[in-house]
Structure 1
Amino acid sequence: MAPPSIRIPDGFVEELKARIRPSDVIGRKVKLTKKGKEWVGLSPFTNEKSPSFYVNDQKRIFKDFSSGLGGDVISFIMETERLSFMEAVEKLAEEAGMELPKASPQAAEEYDHRKRLQAVCEAATAYFEDRLNSSEGMAARTYLEGRGLRPAAWKRHRLGYSPDDWRKTIDHLKSQGFSTKEILEAGLAKESDRGGEPYDAFRGRLMFPIADVRGGIIAFGGRALQPDAKPKYLNSGDTPLFHKSRVLYRYKVAREALGGGDGGGLLVCEGYMDAIALAEAGFGTSVAPLGTALTEDQLSMIWRAGPEPVLCFDGDRAGLGAAYRAIDRALPHVEPGRSLFFVLLPDGMDPDDLIRARGPGAMSDALEERISMSELLWLRERDAEPLDTPERQAGLEARLMAAAAQIQHPGVRAAYERDLKSRMRDHFWQLRQASRGRSKGSGDYRKRPGTGQFPASGDQGQVELKGGAPAKLRGLGQVVRAVDTPELLDLGAETLAAAVFADPDVSRMRDAVLDFADAGKPIDREALSAHLAEAGNMRAASLLNEYPQTPPIAVDGPEAREWLIALEQYMVAGRSAEQDTDTGMDDAGADATSSPSAWRRKHQLVAERRALRARMNEAAGKVGES
């Protein structure tokens, strides 16, 4: 333990507080509830009945009105655990993954030196901002305006321009009292390899200041304005202040925009301009790595801000590769309540392209369609090679299980194994049915789109059943989904009731599901199968029993929306077939004891079509008698 008699440098303490969210630490001792931008709870210092204890993550303070105590997270630990200042700092530093500096005059001097280098970077930022608005910055201003950014945005993001000269920035900083050594150490100048004077590191570039977790400028990114300039983007090299693998562009302001909510996370994109375009379009939680694949340090920062960040990648091969690398990096570290979601943008666009071409609404729509990490992992391995032989299918299983084995948390690892095996069984079942369909002359399977999208497509090809002729079982997957996840009925009972299925046993199964819901009966396979068999619908019962188990899905997630969209096709496609095809809308699967309820109103269309069918049958019988 560090001796309490020796002072820890102020810079270390400030960085420590910036890395820790107060609500995370305090929430372990006080049950906190989100209220606006603050967290509220009962005082840990008094026996109050009404909450008057507040935590503000943006200001990084707590205030207890019942006792009058308040302060930062360090003082909270000191009060609640009866620790000294140094003991509290050491405890929090260990939690934040920071190495406690040696408490010595040399350490304090080192921190003072870091402050001096940061002052150089701040002075350079102000200089670049000034140059952007001068005659020298015309090309940079034209570029920014062409990207839809106006002067107010330039100021918000502190954008600038580095003069296209070998020593202008150095000379300006020296005039501000900084030494050549300090300018070099801050990464704003480079030594000449020919023995000459140092020269400016950034020349003729649009400048993006890079801040640390406290908001202090520590480095720069520069974009070339000439089409043939190399490299297109240039970042500061590693310095005492900056290591690009440990920093995210816009992290501080994005974390503040996210607030201390109990869900969600940052929106991670690929570059400076994407992060700025997203922020200007209203997506203030956007951040970006600095030209590299996400590192473990950056993932840790992202997860500290929120448990379920969204990684948004360009819709091209490079973007997909970046998404796959992020999966491999993240898998060992996922835990309950901590994962990643992914958005792959359409048509080779990046976020800036999409927003300028189609507006912020298109970006919102893309984020609504985000997919989970397990889903993207499944798609990656499924599409890695053809699955037309048992050996290749075994290879898929081996790859999936090897990926799941990387997960360190045993509960999450087991959940991934169950989910991936379920997806694999569904897919192999579909491939077998498609193969049988080809043997029956149903067309060339290789030309049928979406064969890997089993839950959404609903087209199971042809199924050979004992004691019955082959029948297209379109919609079977959607009905079974509603059996295995009954909560979907809250979302789509009306749509399911109005759907028209070509196979009568799929319709009977659907009717039984709705009738069970109408009567308030628990919906499960065993009960439904027994009900169908008792009513004489042996084939429908067999279909339900033989269909692979589908994993439960969240009603408010993207898979539920896919289920509803896939179901809607049967409302449209089935209309014309209703008049000359047996829709199966009879009473064979109905529960005669059902009573009127909200569910009855939801599938009123079913009852109406049953009555119409009965009248048609009655009329047909009279014609036959005559």
Structure 2
Amino acid sequence: MALDPAFLDELRARTPIAPVIGRRTKLVRSGKHWKACCPFHGEKTPSFYVYDDHYHCFGCQAHGDVITFVMQSEGRSFPEAVEELATAAGMDMPKPDPVQRERAEQARTLGDVLEAVQQSWQRRLHEPEGREGLAYLRGRGLSDDTITAFGLGWSGAGRGELVAEMARLDITPAMLRDAGVMRADENGAPQRELFFNRVTFPIRDRRGRLVSFGGRILGDGQPKYLNGPETAIFSKRRVLFGLDRAREGVRGSGAGAELLVVEGYMDVIALHQAGFHGAVAPLGTALTTEQLEALWLVAPAPVLCFDGDGAGQRAAVKAAETALPLLNVERTLRFCTLPEGEDPDSLVRRHGSAAMATMIEGARPMGQVLFGLMSEGVRDPGPEQRAALRRRLVAVAALIPDKTLAAEYRSTLLDSFFQTFRRDGRGGAKRVPVATAPVAPMAADLQRQCILSAILLEQPSVLDAVQDAYCSLALPPDLAALREELLDLYDRNGELPDADELASRLAEAGLADVRQRVDATRGRRGQAADADLFDTDPVQEWWHFYGLLDVERFAAELRADTERLCAGTPDEAQWNSLRTRLLALDALRRGGDEEEE
């Protein structure tokens, strides 16, 4: 029975897909979407993703909407699946319509429509009207064999020739619109051809099925490159140009068999012609989660090869940010940054395949690249900037869900940090001892900052529990230099030495005067009513003075942490940390700042 499309649209709108799928397989949140082990094939690592209106398995390629899922999972026919969902949604099934049945029988699939268009455009490239497009492709160094292999074509002038030709094949403008080769007006009616006066690039999914087109205009028109719109069979964020070929191309060895991610159609085609058969490209957008998952199904460590300009660097940053929450010990990324002003196409044409192979062989691990990307533009930073950068590096590593891998990334990033920005004479510019003329009387906040530092000098183990908050403090230069040395020692050794050895290390770093002034400040606390309140818990004492710097901010931080822990699955250490800070806040609110009198 042919069903009214409007009825089906309403049924899909009334039937959220996640609960339907969740009745058959356990779904786990993955950002804005859901993931699970695929219910259609056996797997241990989830590759089945559920989005707002559809699902997709990157393992077996199962794909569809809520109706398709019921059909595939329960073995029902289309009418049976629709009836089941309609009953659950409280909708009445429409009565049979012979006219709609006849139209459905006559309708072609979108794939058939696209293949007919492809044959037309590929033929036109070699006819007089496509002369300019063919000359452009040959001028870019492509051979006729490559042009044919990739099915490159010419779209024509867009004056109705395509519509007329397709009409002879019983393909209507509405079908062309649904296939993504005609624009629609504000009412949804087919309006005009989308691609005209463009060299065309057929876009195929990983199985080689034609799903859309891209086009490159000749001359100064805009946009230079154009992709087809989203359709029932094409989702830009899930498709990589050339992936159908790359799956076969990466089965060899050497640079030519690496899975390479480049920026554009011409880069992919030029690299394939030069012997690099694993080249693919996103479709004019930043790499998406779905595209990364598809890449990792082909190779565990794809090489991202971006242009050597500002846009290429931004693309690398975005790709790294997207990839971090997806990394594990079995899948990662490598980065190959081309020389300024070069892209893969130009590099191969100017310098040959050997130059490109050298660049690929020099691809760097993600840990090294991450540090370079995050520290871009940082030149001779002061203590505050260094502390902020260090905290960002630690936060980036924490995005990786695998705790062991996250720890390794943290270590690698911080090693790079200290090698690059160390100022203590052990690999960088020698630290200049800070002049530490005493300040009297001391401002209240400065005195509290000194006490916070003094607690760490007396009880070095406290740093493990408070380092993030310690990094966030805006300290004067001398105290910031002291903090920098403490963090340096902590990250290189995994802990601070005992108090006596720590004093010796600080003296070697030219910070003895700062240490002595901090200790003296702590000695001037006097005999406050709560002077011995924290003798048995130096961590709580540290949080007490941290809170005194800004009680309202401290309270807000604790509220946020409490909500976060309650929403997740915290371990005992996280709860103990929160409890200690809450006790410190309670002491403050009960008048625990009497030492200021």
Calculate the TM-score normalised by the size of structure 1.
Answer: 0.52
Q: Decide which of 220, 224, 236 is 2:228's aligned counterpart.
A: 236
Query: How far 1:146 sits from its partner (Å)?
Result: 0.7
Aligned residue for 1:346, secondary structure, equals: strand
Give the Cα separation in 1 of the matches to 2:363 and 2:268.
Answer: 18
Residue 159 of structure 2 corresponds to 166
Letter paired with 2:429:
S
Q: Decide which of 47, 51, 69 is 1:101's aligned counterpart.
A: 69
| 1:246 equivalent in alignment to 2:219 | no
Query: How far 1:382 sits from its partner (Å)?
Result: 2.7
Aligned residue for 2:109, secondary structure, equals: helix
Query: How far 1:250 sits from its partner (Å)?
Result: 0.8
Query: How far 1:259 sits from its partner (Å)?
Result: 3.0
Aligned residue for 1:396, secondary structure, equals: helix
Residue correspondence of structure 1 range 558-573 to structure 2 within 5 A: none
Give the Cα separation in 1 of the matches to 2:315 and 2:357.
Answer: 21
1:66-120 per-position Cα deviation (integer Å, ceiling 9, x unaligned):
xxxxxxx999979xxxxxxxxxxx9989976756622232479999999711000
Residue 435 of structure 1 corresponds to 429
Letter paired with 1:157:
F
Query: How far 1:386 sits from its partner (Å)?
Result: 3.1
Give the Cα separation in 1 of the matches to 2:114 and 2:190.
Answer: 20
1:499-532 per-position Cα deviation (integer Å, ceiling 9, x unaligned):
xxxxxxxxxxxxxxxxxxxxxxxxxxxxxxxxxx
Give the Cα separation in 2 of the matches to 1:329 and 1:113.
Answer: 44
Residue 477 of structure 2 corresponds to none
Note if contact 2:324-2:400 (Cα within 8 Å) is conserved in structure 1.
yes
Query: How far 1:379 sits from its partner (Å)?
Result: 1.0
Give the Cα separation in 1 of the matches to 2:417 and 2:105.
Answer: 58
Give the Cα separation in 2 of the matches to 1:200 and 1:256.
Answer: 34
Letter paired with 1:335:
N
Q: In 2 relative to 1, CA 388–101 (structure 1 residues): closer, same or farther, beyond 3 Å?
A: closer
| 1:341 equivalent in alignment to 2:334 | yes
Residue correspondence of structure 1 range 55-66 to structure 2 within 5 A: none
Note if contact 2:424-2:431 (Cα within 8 Å) is conserved in structure 1.
no
Note if contact 1:250-1:286 (Cα within 8 Å) is conserved in structure 2.
yes
Identity of aligned residues (%): 35
Aligned residue for 1:252, secondary structure, equals: helix
Letter paired with 1:418:
S
Note if contact 1:313-1:323 (Cα within 8 Å) is conserved in structure 2.
yes
Aligned residue for 1:378, secondary structure, equals: helix
Residue 411 of structure 1 corresponds to 404
Note if contact 1:266-1:306 (Cα within 8 Å) is conserved in structure 2.
yes
Letter paired with 1:367:
I
Residue correspondence of structure 1 range 246-325 to structure 2 within 5 A: 246-259=238-251, 266-325=259-318
Q: In 2 relative to 1, CA 408–280 (structure 1 residues): closer, same or farther, beyond 3 Å?
A: same
Letter paired with 2:69:
P
Q: Bigger shift: 378-387 or 207-216?
A: 378-387
Q: In 2 relative to 1, CA 180–197 (structure 1 residues): closer, same or farther, beyond 3 Å?
A: closer
1:356-390 per-position Cα deviation (integer Å, ceiling 9, x unaligned):
00001100011111111111111122334234322
* Cα-Cα RMSD: 3.7
Give the Cα separation in 1 of the matches to 2:107 and 2:328.
Answer: 36
Aligned residue for 2:429, secondary structure, equals: helix
Query: Mind listing any 5+ residue stretches in structure 1 that lack a counterpart?
Result: 1-72, 79-89, 440-545, 547-626
1:429-487 per-position Cα deviation (integer Å, ceiling 9, x unaligned):
46645433999xxxxxxxxxxxxxxxxxxxxxxxxxxxxxxxxxxxxxxxxxxxxxxxx
Residue 425 of structure 1 corresponds to 418
Give the Cα separation in 2 of the matches to 1:367 and 1:338.
Answer: 18
Letter paired with 2:396:
A
Q: In 2 relative to 1, CA 370–402 (structure 1 residues): closer, same or farther, beyond 3 Å?
A: same
1:547-584 per-position Cα deviation (integer Å, ceiling 9, x unaligned):
xxxxxxxxxxxxxxxxxxxxxxxxxxxxxxxxxxxxxx
Note if contact 1:265-1:305 (Cα within 8 Å) is conserved in structure 2.
no
Residue correspondence of structure 1 range 104-503 to structure 2 within 5 A: 104-106=77-79, 116-192=109-185, 198-226=191-219, 228-259=220-251, 266-429=259-422, 432=425, 434-436=428-430
1:200-220 per-position Cα deviation (integer Å, ceiling 9, x unaligned):
111110000000122111100
Give the Cα separation in 2 of the matches to 1:270 and 1:91.
Answer: 25
Query: Mind listing any 5+ residue stretches in structure 2 that lack a counterpart?
Result: 1-37, 44-54, 72-76, 83-100, 434-508, 510-597
Note if contact 2:306-2:343 (Cα within 8 Å) is conserved in structure 1.
yes
Calculate the TM-score normalised by the size of structure 2.
Answer: 0.55
Residue correspondence of structure 1 range 600-611 to structure 2 within 5 A: none
Query: How far 1:231 sits from its partner (Å)?
Result: 0.7
Query: How far 1:179 sits from its partner (Å)?
Result: 2.3
